Amino acid sequence: MDKETRWIFKTQREIQEETGLSRYEQEGARRELKKRGYLEEIYKGIPRKVNYRINWDKFNSGWDEWINDQ
């Protein structure tokens, strides 16, 4: 699959409906996930909208580390 097709767009409201996280909780979670390298963000379109994708290589290696530590 082309990496470009992996970007998704969700509004804060959609994320809140799906996860129950408030705007500020979402911002904190996104900040932490980006800091750890699990989440990538770019702005696309007019008006600008934040698009997201998971860094699957980082996610899988982090998952493997966690499993091996159990």
pTM of the model: 0.77
Distance (Å) of CA 63 to CA 13, 30, 58, 68, 70? 29, 18, 8, 9, 11
- Let me know: does 50 contact 41? Beta carbons within 8 Å: yes
Q: What residues form DSSP beta bridges with 51?
A: 9, 42
Q: What is the DSSP letter of 41?
A: E
In single-letter form, the type of residue at position 52 comes to: Y
Our count of domains for the chain comes to: 1
Q: What is the pLDDT of residues 5-19, one digit of tens each?
A: 689 999 999 999 999
Residue 14 sits in which domain range?
3-69
In single-letter form, the type of residue at position 30 comes to: R
The CATH number assigned to the domain holding 24 equals 1.10.10
Q: What residues form DSSP beta bridges with 43?
A: 50
Q: What is the pLDDT of residues 21-64, one digit of tens each?
A: 999 999 999 999 999 999 999 999 999 999 999 999 999 999 99
Q: What is the pLDDT of residues 20-29, one digit of tens each?
A: 999 999 999 9
Instruction: Give the mean pLDDT of the chain.
Output: 91
